[in-house]
Structures are given as structure tokens and as C-alpha cells.
Amino acid sequence: MAHDTVKRGGGDAAASTPRGPSLRAVPFLKLGESEPIELLSNAQQQQLAQHAFVRVFPARTIVYRAGAPADSVFIISDGVVKSFRDLPSGRRRIAAFFFARDLFGLAKAGRYVNTVQTLTPVRAYRLDVIALTELFRSDPGLELPFLCKTMHVLREAQHHNIIVGRRDAIGRLAMLLRLLQTQFEATNGNADVPTPMTKSDMANYLGLSLEAVVRASRGLQRQGIVQFLGRHHARIIDQGRFEALASNV
């Protein structure tokens, strides 16, 4: 984390990504907009891009560690990361997975609260917090999207709570798979779900042991609901029973 890729996010970077940083969420007002939408206007994206540094991380890279000084927030342009904390007992608790158009960098008293590590190669915009708060001051309309996105993350944390609250391993796994299905449904067919994380990561997210995740996977497969093709790919066979499982909290 010593140095940045010395490349500004705007202008000439247009070849790889036509737009600047992008934030997606369900807005909290706007009745009827129940699908996630783009929160930043083109002008806002360009403005942010002028203050952002583009960073590219290989897979399995630590972006920052819990407890380190929190000088930046990140907006993912492409790729997947996990945000986790190691507990005194030695257990690891994954608080969230973040995908393209997500914002991460949660801080408390100037320090990051979780460690963030990439699961896949990641391209992200790095925004200096000081510069960002100054931008907020100069452009009042810019802060609302960030508030909106933070509320979105909060809702997802509450949903995560509900997942972990279930007692059956199969149901929890189904809910994670549905989360991934929703996340990737734009890019792929509805039935094919990428699972970028390891089973151990799944276990740490679901509050289960690795073995329980394996057994739940076999259970889903044996019942003909989901098929696991390779390490990072699942296919929903019976969407009806799958939904039933994932909804039956």
C-alpha cells in the first residue's frame, strides 16, 4: 500500500472503463424504485474520477488491515473482495462480500474496522477521505449518494443477520447462493451462479464450519436443487425449490 498506480481515474482512462466510479443501490426515498439503480450522475462520476486513483489488485491481495489508519475509501470497478475480522478465539468472521459498484472502507475513529482482501483480480477507485469530505462541502449533492449507499450496506448487514440466525446449514447456504445469483444476474444467465470465494470463506460468512458447508452443498446437490460445477461455479437446477429454501426463514 506504499504507492498508488499513478493514474487518475478520469479522462484518458476512458478506454478500459467509459465512466468513472459507479455506485449502485436501492435509494431510500423514490417510491417504487425497488431495483438497485445508479446513484451518481455522469457529472458526479467525472468529478469523483478527477480526485480518484485507480488501483489494480491481483487476487488474494490484502487491500488494508483492520486497525490501520483509514485514509481512503474504495469503489470497486470490477472484481470481488471479502471484508472480515479475526476474533480472539481464532475464528474468522466475514462481514460482507463486495462486488462491482460497491463502496467499502468502513472506519471508526480514523482506523479501519475490518480487513479487506481480494478474491479475484480487482480494479477499484481509491478516494482520499479528506479530499472526499472537502468535495462534500463544495458540492452538497454529492454526499447523498454516499449516505444512500451506506444505508444499502446497512440493510445488507441486517439481511446477513437474518441468514446467520437460521439454524439449518442448507437454508443458510441457499441464501448465500441467492445473494450471489442476484448479484451476478446481469452478467450471466439466471441459473449459472459464480461463487468466487472458497468454501471456507462461505463458512466464515455463514457462521458455520467448513464441513457443514460441504455437507450442505452435497445436500443441495443430492436433492437436485443445485449443481456444483468446479470450485467457483454453481448452477441452480430447481429454481422453485431453491427459492422456497432461501425464503423459508
Partner DNA sequence: CGTACAGTTGATGATCATCAATCCCTGTGG
Partner DNA sequence: CCACAGGGATTGATGATCATCAACTGTACG
Can you give the binding site for DNA, defined by CB under 7 A? Answer: 167-170, 198-200, 207-212, 214-215, 217-218, 228, 230-231
Nearest distance in Å: CB 190, DNA = 23
Q: Which of residues 107-136 bind its own copies (CB under 8 A)?
A: 107-111, 113-114, 129-130, 133, 136
Report in angstroms the alpha-carbon separations of 18 from 11, 77, 118, 186. 9, 11, 23, 18
Q: Which of residues 53-112 bind its own copies (CB under 8 A)?
A: 69-70, 85, 87-89, 91, 93, 95, 106-111
Count the neighbouring beta carbons within 10 Å of the beta carbon of residue 46.
16
CA–CA dist 45, 127 (Å, integer): 12
**What is the sign of the dihedral through the CA atoms of 166, 60, 147 and 25?**
negative
Which one of DNA, its own copies, none is in contact with 45 (Cβ closer than 5 to 8 A by kind)? Answer: none
Nearest distance in Å: CB 84, its own copies = 10
Among 7, 65, 137, 218, binds its own copies (CB under 8 A): 137
Three state DSSP letters for 161-183? HHHHHCCCHHHHHHHHHHHHHHH
Nearest distance in Å: CB 210, DNA = 5
Residue 132 or 193: which CB sits closer to its own copies? 132
CA–CA dist 189, 171 (Å, integer): 23
CA–CA dist 221, 193 (Å, integer): 14
Nearest distance in Å: CB 137, its own copies = 5
Nearest distance in Å: CB 213, its own copies = 14
Phi, psi for 79 (deg, rounded to 5): 115, 180
Q: How many residues bind its own copies (CB under 8 A)?
A: 54
**Residue 210 binding its own copies, by CB under 8 A:** no
Which are the contacts of 49, defined by CB distance < 8 A and separation ≥ 6?
Answer: 8, 9, 10, 11, 13, 20, 21, 125
Residues binding its own copies (CB under 8 A): 26-34, 69-70, 85, 87-89, 91, 93, 95, 106-111, 113-114, 129-130, 133, 136-138, 140-141, 143-144, 146-147, 150-151, 153-155, 157-158, 160-162, 164-165, 207, 247-249
